[in-house]
Amino acid sequence: MNGHAATVRDLARQRRLRRLELTVNRRLDGLLHGRYLGLLPAPGSEPAGSREYRPGEDEVRRMDWSVTARTTVPHVRTVEADRELTTWALVDATPSMDFGTAELEKRELAVAAVAAVGFLTAGLGNRLGAHLLTNDGVRRFPARTGRTPLLGLLRTLLDVPRGVPATAPVSLADGLAGLHRSARRRGLVVVVSDFLDGLPDDGVAGASGAPPDWERPLRRLAARHQVLAVAVSDPRERELPDVGLITLVDPESGRRREVSTSSRRLRERYAAAAAAQRLAVARAVRRSGAAYLPLSTERDWVADIVRHVFVQRRLAGAARPGGAA
């Protein structure tokens, strides 16, 4: 009986992954033409010469100091697209991701985001690797080419045990630092998390003047790689419904608290604090130099990804010489 149940579960999981792959290939790949323009269009990392520095457009970290010293005019390095792309995914699979009140749980939305990255960058020698943050440590997947390793990664994400006591939890900050040490060659890094870990005691990064613990390692990662931070959330993390007395449980610590949602004042304070928290997280991500993509369990995640890519392309086009204003 147990073997039969396991077989049925495996078949259901295979169907989910197949539907996910078809969704990415039909809805995303058809709209996002060009593999190197994918989720984060950028010039690449292969050296291609230098040009004069343009204030307000160019990053100081791309300064070509040797040419600047030789010509006495500030220059920046120019690069061209890599022939092969190495993508790393840092995925939060801790208990806070096992929550959802809409069509998807946050964990399932994280799987969808990783699938979008994997299927869109697959092929042509491109490689995908991953670090999964779980309650019992970090699970590392070496960067490999092909569809089979990607499907294996997605299956592992879906199968991360739930409700298991923490034995060796790893913070998001430590996970980012570990990936920075491992991924030495420049590439694309996609961080998928709810970014609730490492916030100050007041729960709102910036409200107390203290940045989140993960901001500094994220900044170091973005100095070497092109980084996309995918922040997943659920509508019940943004506002409470009026349903009377409920018990709230912290999935990370197990702490419980009874709350009367019939209080309008409490609901308003909750919504205001949640909005401030989301804004502070977005600002911390952008200060680090990473791109920010919010996804929610009640929204069409495909449409949100497409919208993000079009905005990135428009900004990239405006920054190039002769681009749109």
Mean pLDDT of all residues in 283-307? 93
Q: Specify the higher pLDDT residue, 191 or 62.
A: 191
What's the pTM?
A: 0.79
Domain architecture of the chain: domains with CATH: 2-38+84-313 (3.40.50.410), 46-80 (no CATH)
At residue 201, the pLDDT reads 58
At residue 317, the pLDDT reads 62
Per-residue pLDDT band at 161 (split at 50, 70, 90): confident
The interaxial angle of helices 301-319 and 106-121, nearest 10 deg, is 50
Determine how many CB atoms are found less than 10 A away from the CB of residue 169. Answer: 16
Would you state the structure tokens that stand for residue 104, as one six-digit string?
A: 């998807």
pLDDT at 36 over 50: no
Mean pLDDT of all residues in 174-198? 92
Provide CB contacts within 8 A for 286, sequence distance 6+: 292
Per-residue pLDDT band at 32 (split at 50, 70, 90): low
Range of lowest pLDDT (73-82, 143-152, 200-209): 200-209
Mean pLDDT of all residues in 62-90? 79
What integer best gives the mean pLDDT of the chain? 82
